[in-house]
Structure 1
């Protein structure tokens, strides 16, 4: 088979598995898997295909300033895996993060074409549009069915926990706004109105969910964007308008209409002032970090010690300190700070467009939310975040073709990703429903997603 034909086959496979990943938050494929496990399976499939694409597609490279801390980070992580109590679980977490880095790398190279960027962003918007439509259908069904029960907890689908919906929204809302502004600039008013309606419904959902971290992330990301470059004030104004209309829509659906019909809606706790046990998780993570300062307890190993709250610390820096150690966490923070600084510098340049402002808000908002939630734990959110980071990097940096000697490094990185994650898909995924039922019968633990649905490392 010629190289051109191989590249065509790889591109088709990438598109197919990308669609499979998108659909993993829209519809359940069967009764055996829940949302979380289904999304993890789709994520691993997409990562493996993206990793294999390194072998066939023309590849690009990062600068040495980015490559060296990235290589150091994963070398330290692998040493942590070898020293971990449960290395087979630790290596899965390590390989999946390495695979996400390769996903960023793949998107970074492919997104030089404008139509590919548009394709990815509109796919994200389409998922959000379907969720908005499903919400409206479920709301209508609460009245049409004759049951006369309006329970907000029954109006959401796509995620095993409504809070994970909010993680997705932190990426979705800025992308909807940037696409809406692009439509307005291109005189596509009908599509723009449709996007605005989706934004209003999504903000209504965000208010029902009561996601304080989501609200804070959206606010800080948009304010920081305006502080970096005031020309992006329209994105802040648009998001403010959509949030205001979303609150009005929420008041209509869950206050006025139920009042008129004599119903008492069942709502989630909208305003919470406590930390919901996070202060305990953070203290336990910090204690684990101090007990294992150099290499951490091992990737995923916060979930090796059962606690009554959650299998991850709900704070990304403490999670990495506890599991990967201080040196690896410092390298990860250096990479993150480098990306934020480079992004801010690009936003201040004449090349910056509304696309870049929207990507900034999505990525920075997710980083803010990651300080109080498991953004870097849930498969659907972390995969979309990696894709958007790849898009942002493609906008900010030139992408020279990779040299043959440096290509070897990427080929070496592909091997553990394919072997480890392929083994997880082939051997572990089919047995998940049975193993989870057995775990629940033996321990009676609540669901606490980390890698697969049951978040605690099995003994």
Structure 2
């Protein structure tokens, strides 16, 4: 019996929710598991997308621009020093597109009830992570230890910056219920308390990129009418609540119990680049040496350094690896998409419909994430890539076209499906090849005088051969 597109969508929705919850909330979760879950979700999105009808999601100029970016990426990969890893990075880009289109299709056929599902998933994830955090705080205070490292209170991510990236996507969305006029008072109080705790975690984690991204989103949303200003007001109020909780827990209570804290939020209030200057210069020299096609996708990780396997700056990363022409094309595409959404938000600034308010919060999450990508690896980490695909896909489904785009020609649609199958297939092959040996590879890398892992595709992300 053949499944309808709606039934396939329900299966994909259950799969997506399970993988998102497992990837973020499992205590044993980390970079490698999250990458594996991303590949599993890409496979589910592919199977769902192959059954979907040929639908026009973008206009012709956008489709041509995306095709040019992929073509330049394939050419750059063919000339790269590690071509298989370069093609793997292109496959990651295509798979993120597959996931975004799957979420867009899911929302289009599921309608507004799916918006409530998305909100419930965000609330559930934040509630679980907040409970884990507060439980860790209580355990730390009752353990009898005299020194409390606040970084140890964060779980589920290999690095607290990755946790901060996840919060940049979810902080804007968690404010959505507070913007709905008919929300019962008890629920409003509960959501605000959760948002305040979520800000407490962001403050104690000290990810400056999250603060920068949320600040940029707030400045932009002020210009988007009363709901944008209300969104900012609720966020500022929750920041105040988070600061109050931080002071009560880690200043007053910790002092009363005689516990000294380390890795305080105040320690992060610096203008230090945290080693980024070295990797930014490395990326710049790569751009100067090969401006047209770059060194190849993921090839920054083929030039070992003591800091990172990516520049922690999206523009420098794309230009050094994919080339300047590809970077300009991506920038134009991002600007066109962002401006189109901004224009719709201005036109519907007074609308209190759930879909319009959700669009506002999704746009804030996108602006925050793109801003954070200027100082952090948002376009590199698996959970961040997943949430970026989800946000973009949902915005595509909610977009109001002035002139509806026409469907792509059948040959182009078939070519995209073939490319999607090859991309997801390559990711599966890489996972099957590497996953059984990940632990040994990490031990060897750390044992060879390296004191920590440098994530890229896997947690040990250096792709240069030893001695090269």
Smaller-chain TM-score bracket:
over 0.9
The answer to whether structure 1 residue 395 and structure 2 residue 393 are counterparts is no
Gap change, CA 1:403 and 1:291, over 3 Å in 2: closer
Q: State the partner residue of 1:26.
A: 25
Over residues 31-67 of structure 1, what are the superposed CA-to-partner deviations in whole Å (9 max), with x where a residue is unaligned?
A: xxx6010111101111122122221123422221210
Unaligned runs of 5+ in 1: none
* Separation (CA, whole Å) in 2 of partners of 1:256 and 1:39: 37
Q: State the partner residue of 1:158.
A: 156
Q: Aligned match of 1:42 in 37, 45, 65?
A: 37
The more displaced of 152-161 and 225-234 is 225-234
The answer to whether structure 1 residue 377 and structure 2 residue 409 are counterparts is no
* Separation (CA, whole Å) in 2 of partners of 1:296 and 1:323: 5
Deviation at 1:409, TM superposition (A): 2.8
The more displaced of 7-16 and 146-155 is 7-16
Over residues 239-271 of structure 1, what are the superposed CA-to-partner deviations in whole Å (9 max), with x where a residue is unaligned?
A: 000001110110000111122222222233231
- Give the TM-score normalised by the residue count of structure 2: 0.92
Matched-pair contact (CA < 8 Å) for 2:280–2:316:
yes
Over residues 122-158 of structure 1, what are the superposed CA-to-partner deviations in whole Å (9 max), with x where a residue is unaligned?
A: 2123111111111111101112333354321211101
Deviation at 1:164, TM superposition (A): 1.2
Deviation at 1:443, TM superposition (A): 4.8
Matched-pair contact (CA < 8 Å) for 2:213–2:368:
yes
Q: State the partner residue of 1:414.
A: 420
Q: State the partner residue of 2:330.
A: 332
The more displaced of 378-387 and 208-217 is 208-217
Over residues 112-131 of structure 1, what are the superposed CA-to-partner deviations in whole Å (9 max), with x where a residue is unaligned?
A: 21122321232123111111
Deviation at 1:415, TM superposition (A): 2.2
1:188-337 equivalent positions in 2, closer than 5 A: 188-268=184-264, 269-337=267-335
Q: State the partner residue of 1:432.
A: 438
Q: State the partner residue of 1:53.
A: 48
Q: State the partner residue of 2:11.
A: 12
* Separation (CA, whole Å) in 2 of partners of 1:441 and 1:177: 45
Q: State the partner residue of 1:105.
A: 101
Deviation at 1:441, TM superposition (A): 2.2
The answer to whether structure 1 residue 347 and structure 2 residue 327 are counterparts is no
* Separation (CA, whole Å) in 2 of partners of 1:396 and 1:430: 42
Deviation at 1:231, TM superposition (A): 4.4
* Separation (CA, whole Å) in 2 of partners of 1:443 and 1:98: 36
* Separation (CA, whole Å) in 1 of partners of 2:21 and 2:89: 22
The answer to whether structure 1 residue 140 and structure 2 residue 155 are counterparts is no
Matched-pair contact (CA < 8 Å) for 1:163–1:211:
yes
Over residues 314-337 of structure 1, what are the superposed CA-to-partner deviations in whole Å (9 max), with x where a residue is unaligned?
A: 100000000000111111101110
The answer to whether structure 1 residue 447 and structure 2 residue 453 are counterparts is yes
Over residues 133-189 of structure 1, what are the superposed CA-to-partner deviations in whole Å (9 max), with x where a residue is unaligned?
A: 11111101112333354321211101111111111111111000113323xx23333
Deviation at 1:21, TM superposition (A): 3.0
* Separation (CA, whole Å) in 2 of partners of 1:3 and 1:138: 44
Count of matched residue positions in the alignment of Structure 1 and Structure 2: 452
Deviation at 1:445, TM superposition (A): 4.8
* Separation (CA, whole Å) in 2 of partners of 1:349 and 1:378: 34
Deviation at 1:212, TM superposition (A): 2.1
Q: Aligned match of 2:359 in 356, 360, 364?
A: 356
* Separation (CA, whole Å) in 2 of partners of 1:90 and 1:402: 28
User: How big is the alpha-carbon RMSD for the aligned residues of Structure 1 and Structure 2?
Assistant: 2.0
- Give the TM-score normalised by the residue count of structure 1: 0.93
* Separation (CA, whole Å) in 1 of partners of 2:142 and 2:446: 37
Over residues 182-222 of structure 1, what are the superposed CA-to-partner deviations in whole Å (9 max), with x where a residue is unaligned?
A: 3xx23333333222111111111111122222112111111
Deviation at 1:232, TM superposition (A): 1.9
* Separation (CA, whole Å) in 1 of partners of 2:196 and 2:224: 27
Matched-pair contact (CA < 8 Å) for 1:10–1:56:
no
* Separation (CA, whole Å) in 1 of partners of 2:173 and 2:9: 27
* Separation (CA, whole Å) in 2 of partners of 1:445 and 1:146: 30
